[in-house]
A and B are shown apart, each in its own frame.
Chain A
């Protein structure tokens, strides 16, 4: 009797083992990405941060795609043509695509989305990317015609932006504001679940129109603590860990199971000078170009890059980073404290002066450490910079005040040219119509020639003319030095060595649509 029972137990045990092992052979493949910050919203049109954009781009697709090497290629659009006067863009859409809820993707859907973005009442931040568009017409089921008021050259680049992604019109109607956590797009993955501050789960879209995804699920885990995130990729609890701190690179590189990937980012870090002379204040030294140039000569970018960023930055040789259309290596300021002192003396500050220097803390790679290094190097030429750190919301508020009430003389900030086109990297920052709070020109920089060049580059469809205009504009900007040009960031990502096909995009997004786990 007992032996029968033992035999039965054995059979049960063996079959359990069999079931488990067969089960695991058919187990779902799940790619886990540990990111530092949770997404804010998955309503593509309202996204203004990279963590949200990273998740969203797997669900919601744009009309055009910016490839990692900076090419603009049609995506949901099959082909397009532009009228000779550069005002009318006709887009022929790919046919047979459906949104995840079954709604057909067609011209009406494109119009619905673009109209939602363009309606000022909807207060979409990135509306300005396409606001020269004055009408969106449905020509037939799969043809859309965009008309702009004036020629607008960067339009295709702007249509690659993740905030111009296509959401299902039916879902937008159904969910209203709740589309933020019920996104429905055409992408390779469908939204499955979002547990705030914990994880977002996407599942494979079996009906995807393009290259079918290789993994069944992608899980974005929110792990704010750097150390924990790195440990997770070492233990195999995560396949990808974003934002590796430079000082942890060597530890991860020693781990045979982990690869560390370095990708240049389109984000430029700079220190802006407030060049506006307020009537109610004493003379502002930054109105003098010699002072601004002196600051640039006084700072050793190469040393900051080597000793603070651990070689993970690229000293700026232009206001925008390589990989952006229109970039040209203009050449940065060499480190020359002698020249800095001389320029300061010429400007009437032989003994330097004292200035408040605003810096965020923890927003960009080693931001405060970089600010402290700049402070130390400025001290060498007689400038006493007192660092003021504010928490981010307060910081934005302070640097965003209109010229006549702005109290911030000098501030560290970053700008990501996420459209891959110089227009977005220069126009909002240097055109005189873009002084904060209207645009993002926080230096209150104004140069009529730069305005003219930026306007020309934006309204000419000819790439060669555009490049030439940007090059000249950037040359003047470097010379005028409304910024202390620092560096472009490098993204450092840790990826398990058994994972293939994860793309770290220069626009600070992780693309896992083609990922495979070996």
Chain B
């Protein structure tokens, strides 16, 4: 197992080089000049040209990439073209916010999603099932900026329970993680339900029931564990999405995270920050995928990686 993990970790490097090439060329292919954005609309061409020189934007892209790669291996992601601050500082400042939000909303999503999925599967086509799947549908369909504002209106303005927006205490975390967690919860619920329904039709479940195992034991011990593999896969994907894709929730709740950092940087053509942030999210994705694969073996002992 540990050998497998090591092998997988060694694969991280080529993947990152691939990601960096794609990001590096993509940001340069979109029109727009970082030096112009940085200098502002009033700047003269002379100033813009000077900045272009200082940022090395006049070098050949291949040379630029080579410099970027060399610095990367020294742990230097460069400086933001916009703020002139080190990219690493910008990312380390945004990372805790992203992780807090991702973990909190994942906890909510899992608790809600798995419970409703289970309840629906146990009583398929009952009113419980219809109701929870309807809620799940609403959960997936609701745009986060609308849901977020509605939660703010109710819980901040009228009830005064939670702060409207910002970052700081655990109370700041409640509304954004509910907003973000709900749509993931809906997806997890639907996955749990269909996976459970399939497992509940298996012969070994019938055998367990025939042996006289109480229904509770049948569902939780015999069926649920076997239904978990696709659920864990979906959870892994959702968590990965939360790392870089929470930009709307982050914006609505003024939550400082990687998503906003990245979108702001793309808008300003801040190449070094875009590159750094995308690489960080890519590393996150790779690690989560690895974790999910390791979890498979834990859930289902017949899966072995040796």
Q: Which of B129-137, B148-156, B229-237 contacts A (4 or more CB under 8 A)?
A: B148-156
Known: A41-B84, A438-B44. A232 touches B264 (CB 8 A): no
A224 with B42: CB separation less than 8 A: no
B41 with A396: CB separation less than 8 A: yes
The smallest C-beta distance from B40 to any residue of chain A, in angstroms, reads 3
A127 with B47: CB separation less than 8 A: yes
B156 with A231: CB separation less than 8 A: yes
Q: Which of B28-36, B111-119, B220-228, B279-287 contacts A (4 or more CB under 8 A)?
A: B28-36
B33 with A180: CB separation less than 8 A: no
Cα separation A46 to B166 with both chains bound (whole Å): 27
Cα separation A221 to B264 with both chains bound (whole Å): 16
Q: Does A439 contact B (CB under 8 A)?
A: yes
Which A residues lie within 8 Å of B152 (CB)?
227-228, 231
Which A residues lie within 8 Å of B252 (CB)?
225, 227-228
CB closest residue in chain B, given A123: B50
Q: Does A234 contact B (CB under 8 A)?
A: yes
Cα separation A28 to B85 with both chains bound (whole Å): 31
A437 with B45: CB separation less than 8 A: yes
Q: Does A196 contact B (CB under 8 A)?
A: yes
The smallest C-beta distance from B50 to any residue of chain A, in angstroms, reads 4
The smallest C-beta distance from A508 to any residue of chain B, in angstroms, reads 14
A180 with B36: CB separation less than 8 A: no
Contact code string A226-257 (vs B, CB < 8 Å = 1, else 0): 01110110110100000000000000000000
Which B residues lie within 8 Å of A393 (CB)?
31-34, 36-37, 267-269
CB closest residue in chain A, given B90: A196
Cα separation A79 to B251 with both chains bound (whole Å): 47
Segment 96-152 of A: residues with Cβ below 8 Å from B: 120-121, 123-128
Which B residues lie within 8 Å of A121 (CB)?
50
Contact code string B146-181 (vs A, CB < 8 Å = 1, else 0): 001100110011001001111100000000000000
Q: Does B39 contact A (CB under 8 A)?
A: yes
Cα separation A234 to B43 with both chains bound (whole Å): 39
Which B residues lie within 8 Å of A198 (CB)?
97, 166-167, 254-256
Question: Which of B42, B85, B163, B261 contacts A125, CB < 8 Å?
Answer: B42
Which B residues lie within 8 Å of A181 (CB)?
83, 85
B267 with A391: CB separation less than 8 A: yes
B164 with A232: CB separation less than 8 A: yes
Which B residues lie within 8 Å of A128 (CB)?
42, 44
B46 with A225: CB separation less than 8 A: no
Cα separation A401 to B157 with both chains bound (whole Å): 48
Which B residues lie within 8 Å of A394 (CB)?
30-32
The smallest C-beta distance from A361 to any residue of chain B, in angstroms, reads 12
Q: Does B93 contact A (CB under 8 A)?
A: yes
Which B residues lie within 8 Å of A229 (CB)?
165
Which A residues lie within 8 Å of B165 (CB)?
221, 223, 225, 228-229, 231-232, 237
Which B residues lie within 8 Å of A195 (CB)?
93, 167, 256
Question: Which of B42, B50, B253, B267 contacts A120, CB < 8 Å?
Answer: B50
A48 with B149: CB separation less than 8 A: no
The smallest C-beta distance from B243 to any residue of chain A, in angstroms, reads 16
Which B residues lie within 8 Å of A440 (CB)?
41-42
Which B residues lie within 8 Å of A228 (CB)?
148-149, 152, 164-165, 252-254
Q: Does B99 contact A (CB under 8 A)?
A: no
The smallest C-beta distance from A364 to any residue of chain B, in angstroms, reads 12
Most buried by A among B34, B152, B164, B267: B164
CB closest residue in chain A, given B37: A393
Q: Does B16 contact A (CB under 8 A)?
A: no
The smallest C-beta distance from A414 to any residue of chain B, in angstroms, reads 9
Most buried by B among A121, A232, A438: A232
Segment 31-81 of A: residues with Cβ below 8 Å from B: 38, 40-41, 43, 46, 48-49
Which A residues lie within 8 Å of B93 (CB)?
195-196
A180 with B84: CB separation less than 8 A: yes
Cα separation A40 to B83 with both chains bound (whole Å): 5
Contact code string B4-44 (vs A, CB < 8 Å = 1, else 0): 00000000000000000000000000111110110111111
Which B residues lie within 8 Å of A127 (CB)?
47
Q: Does A397 contact B (CB under 8 A)?
A: yes
Q: Does A178 contact B (CB under 8 A)?
A: yes
Q: Does B51 contact A (CB under 8 A)?
A: yes
Which A residues lie within 8 Å of B31 (CB)?
393-394, 397-398
Q: Does B145 contact A (CB under 8 A)?
A: yes
B164 with A235: CB separation less than 8 A: yes
Question: Which of B36, B47, B260 contacts A397, CB < 8 Å?
Answer: B36
Question: Which of B79, B84, B157, B254 contacts A222, CB < 8 Å?
Answer: B254
The smallest C-beta distance from B158 to any residue of chain A, in angstroms, reads 10
Which B residues lie within 8 Å of A428 (CB)?
42
Most buried by A among B44, B251, B255: B44
The smallest C-beta distance from A239 to any residue of chain B, in angstroms, reads 14
Q: Does B48 contact A (CB under 8 A)?
A: yes
Cα separation A439 to B43 with both chains bound (whole Å): 7
Cα separation A88 to B149 with both chains bound (whole Å): 58
Contact code string B90-124 (vs A, CB < 8 Å = 1, else 0): 10011001000000000000000000000000000
Q: Does A262 contact B (CB under 8 A)?
A: no
Which B residues lie within 8 Å of A125 (CB)?
39-40, 42-44, 47
Contact code string A171-209 (vs B, CB < 8 Å = 1, else 0): 000000110110000000000000111110000000000
Cα separation A195 to B256 with both chains bound (whole Å): 8
Cα separation A438 to B260 with both chains bound (whole Å): 33
Q: Does B82 contact A (CB under 8 A)?
A: yes
Cα separation A49 to B156 with both chains bound (whole Å): 31
Q: Does A400 contact B (CB under 8 A)?
A: yes
A180 with B254: CB separation less than 8 A: no
Contact code string A382-397 (vs B, CB < 8 Å = 1, else 0): 0000000001111011
CB closest residue in chain B, given A393: B32
A231 with B40: CB separation less than 8 A: no
Cα separation A4 to B268 with both chains bound (whole Å): 67
Cα separation A486 to B51 with both chains bound (whole Å): 33
B51 with A123: CB separation less than 8 A: yes
Instruction: Give 5 CB contacts A-B under 8 Å.
Output: A181-B85, A222-B254, A229-B165, A392-B37, A397-B32
8 nearest A-B pairs in the assembled complex, by CB-CB distance: A48-B40, A393-B32, A437-B45, A123-B50, A197-B256, A198-B256, A223-B254, A125-B43
Q: Which A residues form the contact surface with B (CB < 8 A)?
A: 38, 40-41, 43, 46, 48-49, 120-121, 123-128, 177-178, 180-181, 195-199, 221-225, 227-229, 231-232, 234-235, 237, 391-394, 396-398, 400, 413, 428, 436-440
Further 20 A-B residue pairs, CB within 8 A, beyond A235-B160, A391-B267? A48-B42, A125-B40, A125-B42, A177-B84, A178-B85, A180-B84, A196-B90, A196-B261, A197-B256, A198-B97, A198-B166, A198-B255, A224-B254, A224-B260, A225-B254, A231-B164, A397-B31, A436-B45, A437-B44, A440-B42
